[in-house]
Amino acid sequence: IMKLKLPNPGLEDRILSHQQLDKVEEEEAGDRPKWDNKAQYMLTCVGFCVGLGNVWRFPYLCQSHGGGAFMIPFLILLVLEGIPLLHLEFAIGQRLRRGSLGVWATIHPYLTGIGVASMCVSLTISLYYNTIIAWILWYLFNSFQETLPWSQCPMNANLTGIISECERSSPVDYFWYRETLNTTPSIEEDGGLQWWMLLCHVCAWSFLYICIIRGIETTGKAVYVTSTLPYVVLTVFLIRGLTLKGSFNGVKFLFTPDLSELAKPTTWLDAGAQVFYSFSLAFGGLISFSSYNSVHNNCEQDAVIISIINGFTSVYAATVIYTIIGFRATERFDNCLSGNIVALLNAFELAESDITDSSYDQVVQRLNETYPDVIQGLDLKTCNLDTFLSEGVEGTGLAFIVFTEAITKMPISPLWAVLFFIMLFCLGLSSMFGNIEGIIVPLQDLKVFPKTWPKEATTAVTCLICCAVGLIFLQGSGNYWLSLFDTYGGSIPLLVVAFCEMVSVVYIYGIDRFNDDIKFMIGHKPNFFWQATWRVISPLIMLFILVFYIITKVSEKLLYKAWDPESEKFPTLVEKTYPVWIYVIIFVLAGIPCIAIPFIAVWKCVKHSSESINLFFFTFQNIQINL
Amino acid sequence: MLGKIFFLLCLSSAWAEDLCSKAVPPEAYYVRLSIKTALGDKAYVWNDNEMFLFQATLAFAMRSQFSGQEYNVSNIVVCDETPRVSFWFVVTSLEDPSRLVSRGDVEQAVRKSRNRINSAFLLTDQTLEFIGITPTLAAPVAPNTPPWLIVFGVVMGAVFAGILVLLVLPLIQKKRKKNQPMEDEDSDEETQVKTAENGPERSGVYNMSFSDDDKFTQM
């Protein structure tokens, strides 16, 4: 099974031979765009891989799966799954010099479905990812004020007090759920378009358009800023964070290893999924980007370097985030404790110096023995630092609620807010470049746009259509739609596509031919590590992750968390079940890209056989006529 | 004269002690100071002098509210002082020391001069609490145009300008090229020389089987 190669006649006719490649390279006769220099290519790939997930998904996974211990499955799977897949995509793109759809169609026309599935997934993700960028822009625009709008509750209509929804939750929650999203209590109520979000949405798409207006010609210039600025901001935040009180609590909490977590399969599953999504594999964008390289570019070295950078960025970002989270948690803990102390002082009329932070526990115990009913009546809150440290810190909750709250407590808050949101904006935008590449190039390969149209027009039409469809996420219920798309549109299809990619290259294109290609391109045959991972280890890991993912997703109830001011549990999010018609949407999101692969293969097969049958009858008729 | 004043003082202090030993009257206001919370290391010690200042500021507040009525320190009766630094007080009326000024009047006076009272003790509304008199919330400053709209306008303007420039620039460059035929002829000669040099190398014919048009029909 190692050396299995499926029959693939006609492959030689579809691809350029090594000599032809060299010739095209020398004479620069190809009409493909090219990178201005290696740095642009590396920065674009790094920007595509390093995205919002490194900042708001990895730190949460790390902390919830045993801190430092999570590094072990993460690094193991990075080496066994991430790097081989990355090298494979780079090499195949550089060799066949086509976008993702072109590559699979070239390997075998029946495999066009893989390219179509990639394109569908890139499309789904682009739609909602840019809405997240719109939210980031909204917060960025609102950061240019002396008092940040999410630091205090607004007054109600008759100026007698603060708005009840805000009073019951918190200013940051209120700003996020009400003033930004204006969220409805359930997904069925759409709540209409929010005009301020529409403006930010249009701004986000316009910004993206200006960066991709001429493909990599303009993207290549934009990445000098969008890929490097996040690192600068992270470093600034690290320095600022380490000087705040309580930051070391956060970092300690993050990295304290809990080796018992390694025994749980969910840890390994989450690590594998994180490595996979973090590398933006199976989107088609990386294949496209590497196809603009010169034929003898060292793709092996690139793959290793980018993987190392990606892994390092995840850990670095996690450290920075947790210094700030440690600060916030310590601040909350101190406030909780002082609140309790004040309540005790007031109830027992003690002098202020009688109870300090350190003597609090003893005093409470002593008072509880003598006046237990008074203590009960006071309803003291339990203040636990670890609880504060592990409060819902992933995804949009981390960026827009937890981190923004922490920023309001730092001196010169507007500066930190602006820096933070510019960093998120750059991270998101550079990932969008790859997503859009994964849509536009297949569309060009499918000849959807007329050949006479200039590049500016094709990118404009794509952006306009995506902008229009993205209006779903600007409604009151937009946040629920977004998490639906995120959970189902961006997970299972990618895993399926990645698995098919590996199988196609190794067994349909042929691992021998692939090895020869790499020898031709970089000068030496890939060593045993690559052979083992490409042929056996990585496909097996992908299969495991895919199967377990499907099992967990299918077996769990379809629930979503809603912000409902009328519910009793408010301000905690309420879990609600999706309405029945959501299943159709989920099928469209997750099922159609996966089904496209076999469906298009069968369709092409039928078309081919009907054509050969036609050809046969045509020649038969000719023979008959000649007779 | 001296005798009368002495008599009145004794009477009022006796009356004050009387008041304190009775139950808390409905006109009383409960006061709580949190000096250490507010000032930390710079906290001053609460003693009789500070209490005197409190009575004086309250008398000042009553005077500012009810102009003409000359309230004095003796009119502010303070009782039940605790180590927490909390106590309750009442204001006796000017005409009849046995009558107390109503809660409403005291509240009005305190609200009017709240800022001055706070400043006298270097405290805030939260650290010098009059239980029952809620601090008036500051009206939020609402700018006419929301600031975010201004930033948005600037950014969008820049982006649109950029898009226009990027779209229009190549058209202008094309026009310039058309208007300069002389330079074109010179560059033609150069390319001719170049092709002559590259001539022998271009002798092969390469099979463009890798052609976009035939991609899907070739099976």
- pLDDT score, position A211: 93
Task: Extract the tokens encoding A366.
Answer: 């002593």
Q: What is the pLDDT of residues A483-501, one digit of tens each?
A: 888 888 878 888 899 999 9
Q: Count Cα neighbours of A118 within 13 Å in the Cβ-side half-sphere.
A: 37
Helix (H) or strand (E) holding A434: helix A413-445
DSSP lists the bridge partners of residue A225 as none
Is A278 assigned to a binding site?
Answer: yes
Cβ A608–B219 below 8 Å, yes or no?
yes
- pLDDT score, position B214: 44
Considering only A222-226, A325-329, A546-550, B201-205, which range has the smallest mean pLDDT? Answer: B201-205
Q: What integer is the mean pLDDT of A503-528?
A: 91
Cβ A200–B156 below 8 Å, yes or no?
no
Among A273, A237, A258, smallest CA distance to A418 is for A237
| Whole-number CA gyration radius for chain B | 44
A-chain residues near B209 (CB < 8 A): 13-14, 16
CATH fold for domain B13-131: Alpha-Beta Plaits (3.30.70)
* pLDDT above 50: residue B216: no
A-chain residues near B219 (CB < 8 A): 10, 109, 608, 611
Pairing mode, if any, of strands B76-79 and B86-91? antiparallel
Q: What is the pLDDT of residues B70-101, one digit of tens each?
A: 888 888 888 888 888 888 888 888 888 888 88
**Percentage with pLDDT > 70 across chain A:** 98
Q: What integer is the mean pLDDT of A153-173?
A: 82
Cβ B204–A23 below 8 Å, yes or no?
yes
Rounded CA gap, A74 and A67, in Å?
11
> Does the global pTM surpass 0.80?
yes
- The DSSP output letter for B209 is T
pLDDT higher at B185 or A299:
A299
Check if the beta carbon of residue A416 is closer than 8 Å to that of residue A327.
Answer: no
Cβ B147–A456 below 8 Å, yes or no?
no
Residue B155's pLDDT band, with cuts at 50, 70 and 90, is very high
> What value of ipTM does the predicted structure carry?
0.81
Is A50 assigned to a binding site?
Answer: yes
Q: What integer is the mean pLDDT of A324-346?
A: 88
Among A473, A399, A474, A496, smallest CA distance to A120 is for A496
Cβ A144–B151 below 8 Å, yes or no?
yes
CA distance A349 to chain B (A): 5
Q: What is the pLDDT of residues B114-124, one digit of tens each?
A: 889 989 888 88
CA distance A297 to chain B (A): 21
CA-nearest residue to A102 within chain B is B215
Measured at the alpha carbon of residue A396, what is the angle toward residues A391 and A397, in degrees to the nearest 5?
20
Going along chain A from its start, the domains and CATH numbers come out as 11-625 (1.20.1740.10)
Q: What integer is the mean pLDDT of A460-485?
A: 92
* DSSP E strand stretches across B40-121: 76-79, 86-91
Q: What is the pLDDT of residues A413-451, one digit of tens each?
A: 999 999 999 999 999 999 999 999 999 999 988 888 888
Q: What is the pLDDT of residues A30-78, one digit of tens each?
A: 677 889 899 999 999 999 999 998 888 888 888 888 888 888 999 999 9
Is A446 assigned to a binding site?
Answer: no
Three-state SS for B132? coil
Rounded CA gap, A250 and A67, in Å?
11
Is A368 assigned to a binding site?
Answer: no
AA letter at A46: V
Q: What is the pLDDT of residues A72-109, one digit of tens each?
A: 999 999 999 999 999 999 999 999 988 889 999 999 88
Cβ B210–A15 below 8 Å, yes or no?
yes
CA distance B23 to chain A (A): 18
Rounded CA gap, B219 and B214, in Å?
10
- pLDDT score, position B190: 47
- pLDDT score, position A460: 93
Q: What is the pLDDT of residues A6-33, one digit of tens each?
A: 777 777 777 888 888 888 777 776 677 8
Residue-wise DSSP of A132-149: HHHHHHHHHHHTSSSS-T
CA distance A369 to chain B (A): 21
